Structure 1
Amino acid sequence: MSGLVKTCAFVSVFIVFIAFFMRNNFDDELRSKLNIILESLERVEKEHSVISKKVAIGYGACLDLFVDGNVLLPYNDLGSNPEHFTDISSNKELSKTYAYFYRHGAAAERYVSNSSLFDELVNRAFATAGSHSGLGGNAPVMASRFAHEGCKVLLAAKMSPELQKFLPRGVTVVGGETSKDDVHLILEYKAEERWGPHVAPRANRFIIHNDRNNPTVSSAEEFEKALAGFRPNLLVVGGLQMMDNFPFAPGVRKARLHKVREQMSSQPASTKVHFEMASFAESEMLVELTQNVIPFADSLGMNEQELANLHSTLVYGNVSLVADAIPRVAVVLDQMRHVFRLVRERSGTVPGGRLLTRLHVHTLAYQAIMTSASSPWRNSMAAAAKASLTANRHVCGSKQVDVDKATLIMDESFSTSVARGSQRVPLELDHPVSCWSEGEVQICVAPVLVCTRAHQTAGGGDNISSAGLVLQL
């Protein structure tokens, strides 16, 4: 019997040794693969230097307050039955909506109509260990990235002098000052983190706000005065999700969107116009965007959730609240083709509209950039590589990519479409950015070295989109 015990013990030790050896060997292989991809992406990124351009960007600004979502909202039975609410007025609706997006790992942003509840949450967040604050809002975050890349930037935002101190040199703010900045509460969570019965499939954030300045695009008039003299190479429009579910008086929201449309349509042909999508919950708002904003943009930027939402609105006329957190390349490319075609068709019927010539979709696993071959957008391969690297650098909070804090979740090969007989593209480690032409359209897809130790997910899309744009101007 003792001999049998010794044999079993030996076998157990042997199995542990083999498992340890195989694990180390697997880690070494992955590290080697990631290093080759990293060096290749950096090489492509450096093939084209950033040329200093003038970028005008609106609208709005806020103070982002970051907090661990699971700490700020300890799990209780309210979150056991996830449910979506377009605006939040109670703790019950907050817990249910947080659970709804948390279990999908989907980024979302919602308006809190209950001001007292929001103020209470903000006070609790400030008192929560590990919470921190910084510059927020699509426009200021993108403005900061453009400035860091060497561009001269005109920013439309109403900000307090204290918040303006977060901006880098090279950014000029127009829009007036405010004594109280709007606050966005960023509830962050990590991949595989558990909240009650719900497990997050990826790191992401749930954003809530109770804005007063941003929904009315209060900086638009001052921005308009400055635009003519600034003569930008690129006009970027973002932050319009703050209008989502805001209690406007009848006709006011449409009038403010018309003001945005006028600023876009009044730009000369030499000025490119980019619209940055965001998380929208209200069908009417998305429809208004497809009528008053999107037809006047040369370029669109969005994540996989926002792509599915826009696609659903254009095709079916309704909102798609959540989508696959890690969608297949083929699915995203098919949605991009459909959106690209539909937007171009509709823009051609709108007086003063611009034909869409660029579409950038950033996902956790990869970057995809689609451009019209006859357009002035250039360096798509380098732009995709830079966007990919920026995704890791921002989320990990480091200027250098550390492969020991990264992984690859994009497949080793992908289909260009879900249609039968579509081309299959292998991921070549030393040439990781795949580009090809489809008639008058060029497509580039780059893998992302996904950060496994997330420092900050909020603002990721804004930094990624800006990084992709800056090499294509």
Structure 2
Amino acid sequence: MGKRGLKFGSFFTVIFVLIVAVLYINYDNGLQKRLMAVLHGLERLERRYEVTGKPKVAIGYGICTDVFVDAKDLLRYSLSVGTPKHFDEINTDLELKKSFAYYFQHGAAAERFMGNSVLFDELVAKARAASTSYSTIGGNAAVMALRFVKEGCDVVLAAKMTRSLQQMMPGAIKIVGGEAKRDDIHLILEYKSGDSWGPYTSARANRYIVHNDNNNPMISALEDLDKVLPDFKPDLLVIGGLQMMDSFPFEAGVRSSRLDKVHKQMISQPKSTRIHFEMASFVEQDLLNELCNKVIPFADSLGMNEQEIGNLYNSLLYGNISLVTDSTPRVATILDQMRMLFKLIRSKGKTVENSRELTRIHVHTLAYQAIFTVKNSSWKNTVAAAAKASLTAHRHVCGSQDVDLQKATLIMDDSFSTSTKSGSRIRLDENRPVSCWDESFNIDNKFIEVQACIAPVLVCTEASQTAGGGDNISSAGLVLQI
């Protein structure tokens, strides 16, 4: 090629680069304007309704110390890992790595009991020595209690803990449950979206949790909570942390006996006290079956993430547990699962003595919040609740009360279908970002009107922490509805 050809080639290259740069700048400006509009729309809805008075919330069960560490700093990949594999219980270093790989490749959250206490203590010591390690108060009930008191509620927490851990809790939370000799510890292996571990790349930011609990599986503060409930008269009773019973080596009949007491506690509450059950990651079908018989029919409200709803859906419909599900499910898929669960649980409840009518379901996913509430029920402000839950998702994961749009993105589509079968199409309106509509369900020849709301999440792109996200999100959604 001659000099003239080279000059023309260089000229067109420069023009092409300039065009790409201009297009990128325009795209980036357009995205920032869109994110700003969504943020302002969500904040307007959140501010529209404030918590009135001091709602009374009682929460069980349990607490722990969460020890966080970057997964790559604790687990080193080696060829001996071989094929990823699921284990109900972890007892060896190889089982831990195989199990971690199994969930990491799907970007799915997992929580497993480690029966080998020596190995567990070694891992905790190693994690605490890592530069990325830090510790916080953990456990579903405790994290939800912290969020509720932060939002202005009067809170009672049922949890057994050491005196030193109790001194770390806000004085505004009344703690019942007595003193423990040693606090339970949860080791939380965190990873970010796009992280690599051996040949695997994570699809999203998430965490893998291992624990060797002794107090939490026994829900040892249950009787203490029983004693204060009649005088406290809570507006809301939250049941959570029951996944700690998963794979724990109970003596014969002990777990069923403890769940019978949870059941008795729930049915003993007056109708003026609403009951919320917060789901979690379960691997034992027998435990989930017991929950479906002894707990779920006696709750007014259910909270869960995209993996947990798939788990409950498969268990109720097909009698088996789904270990992993799509980490970024379509809105239509989640809505269909919510409808089916609502129908199944409401229908089953009619044949169960002392059952409550399910009137609320909240599913929190990475990309959006989905809330069903029965119209004219005691739940209020569903639109604002969805907005607050969405904002709390970003704030918690990014570790900041203020939403920094430089650390935010939308992964929810510009529009979504309300069903995978014959749903209508709804476009995301940036200025009015929470989309709501009414649906009618015919359950055993009775028509029930439900309000459905979807709120997009400004997904945090620089995750500070993922553990405890669901607990904070569920609590934030509930606080505007009680």
Please classify the TM superposition score into its range, dividing by the shorter chain length: over 0.9
State how 1:380-391 maps to structure 2 within 5 Å. Answer: 380-391=382-393
Q: For the residues of structure 2 that align with 1:284 and 1:472, how far apart are their CA atoms?
A: 33
Aligned position for 2:288: 286
1:84 aligns with 2:86: yes
Residues 129-149 of structure 1: CA deviation (Å, up to 9, x unaligned): 120001000000000000000
Aligned position for 2:306: 304
Aligned position for 1:69: 71
1:406 aligns with 2:408: yes
Q: For the residues of structure 2 that align with 1:84 and 1:4, how far apart are their CA atoms?
A: 61
Q: CA deviation at 1:228?
A: 1.3
AA in 1 matched with 2:11 = F
Q: For the residues of structure 1 that align with 2:171 and 2:473, how far apart are their CA atoms?
A: 20
* SS of the residue 1:123 aligns to: helix
AA in 2 matched with 1:380 = T
Consecutive unaligned residues of structure 2, counting only runs of 5 or more, are 441-448
Residues 95-126 of structure 1: CA deviation (Å, up to 9, x unaligned): 11101100111111011111111111101001
- The change in CA–CA distance for 1:172 and 1:408 in structure 2 (over 3 A counts) is same
Q: For the residues of structure 2 that align with 1:217 and 1:10, how far apart are their CA atoms?
A: 73
Aligned position for 1:23: 24
AA in 1 matched with 2:50 = S
**Contact 1:408-1:448 within 8 A present in 2 as well:** yes
Q: CA deviation at 1:340?
A: 0.8
Q: For the residues of structure 2 that align with 1:49 and 1:79, how far apart are their CA atoms?
A: 51
Q: CA deviation at 1:13?
A: 2.8
Residues 234-288 of structure 1: CA deviation (Å, up to 9, x unaligned): 0000000000000000000000001111111100000000000000011111111
State how 1:29-178 maps to structure 2 within 5 Å. Answer: 29-51=30-52, 52-178=54-180
Out of 191, 194, 199, the residue aligned to residue 192 of structure 1 is 194
**Contact 1:188-1:205 within 8 A present in 2 as well:** yes
Q: CA deviation at 1:462?
A: 0.2
Consecutive unaligned residues of structure 1, counting only runs of 5 or more, are none
Residues 329-364 of structure 1: CA deviation (Å, up to 9, x unaligned): 000000000011111111221111111100000000
Q: Which moved more, 1:68-77 or 1:243-252?
A: 68-77
Q: CA deviation at 1:178?
A: 1.2
1:469 aligns with 2:478: yes
Aligned position for 1:361: 363
* SS of the residue 1:172 aligns to: strand
Q: For the residues of structure 2 that align with 1:97 and 1:379, how far apart are their CA atoms?
A: 41
- Give the % identical residues: 58
Q: CA deviation at 1:5?
A: 3.0
Q: CA deviation at 1:321?
A: 0.6
* SS of the residue 2:127 aligns to: helix
Residues 26-53 of structure 1: CA deviation (Å, up to 9, x unaligned): 1110000000010010001111111220
AA in 2 matched with 1:96 = K
Aligned position for 2:259: 257
AA in 2 matched with 1:340 = F
**Contact 1:372-1:441 within 8 A present in 2 as well:** yes
Aligned position for 1:348: 350
Q: For the residues of structure 2 that align with 1:8 and 1:310, how far apart are their CA atoms?
A: 61
Q: For the residues of structure 2 that align with 1:164 and 1:234, how far apart are their CA atoms?
A: 23
Aligned position for 1:3: 4
**Contact 1:147-1:169 within 8 A present in 2 as well:** no
1:430 aligns with 2:431: yes
Q: For the residues of structure 1 that align with 2:168 and 2:194, how far apart are their CA atoms?
A: 33
Q: CA deviation at 1:166?
A: 3.0
TM normalised by structure 2 equals 0.97
AA in 2 matched with 1:462 = D
Q: For the residues of structure 1 that align with 2:400 and 2:256, how far apart are their CA atoms?
A: 41
* Equivalent residues, number: 472
Q: CA deviation at 1:161?
A: 1.9
* SS of the residue 2:67 aligns to: strand
